[in-house]
Amino acid sequence: MICPTDSYGFSLNENSLADLDSIIKNTTDKEIFLKIDIEGHEYRILNQIKKYSTAINCLAIEFHDCDLHNEKIKNFINDFELQLVHIHINNWGLLNHDNSPRTIELTFSHKEFNKKIINENKKFPLPLDRPNNPLYQDLPIEFK
């Protein structure tokens, strides 16, 4: 089976695709750093990420089309065993009509690594953050 060509011009066949089940179930490693940046397909594996959460120490994930999948993202954050420790707006993505980002990057880590109490008034982006598109400034995050 040939998958349709995506917007980046890649074309994959079924044999070249893998899912987390086929990757993680065969490992005994319980200290996995997982980075997910699959251009809108991240929603297809959220249940698998939750399934293997005990083997994952850290997750960095980029969510696309946040305006269309807001509830899925909220549910994932609330149901995931790891704690959300950082958020960043990808400034390549557009803002929707209410100035919400369409693409965000979230970082989660295991509770044992999160000893510091986070200031609720923390302003994002942080000094270590960098814009994804260097031609434009990073977008601020406002919590309402």
36 in a domain, yes or no?
yes
**Amino acid, single-letter form, for residue 106:** L
CATH number at residue 71: 3.30.110
Residue 55: which pLDDT band, with cuts at 50, 70 and 90? confident
Domain span including residue 38: 29-113
24 in a domain, yes or no?
no
141 in a domain, yes or no?
no
Residue 61: which pLDDT band, with cuts at 50, 70 and 90? very high
91 in a domain, yes or no?
yes
pLDDT digits (tens, 9 = 90+) for 82-102: 999 888 998 887 788 887 888
Count of domains for the chain: 1
pTM reported for the whole predicted model: 0.78
**Amino acid, single-letter form, for residue 14:** E
98 in a domain, yes or no?
yes
Q: What is the pLDDT of residue 2?
A: 35
Q: Collapsing DSSP states into helix, strand and coil, what is residue 45?
A: helix
Question: Which of 34, 62, 31 lies closest to 48, judged by CA?
Answer: 34
Residue 45: which pLDDT band, with cuts at 50, 70 and 90? confident
77 in a domain, yes or no?
yes
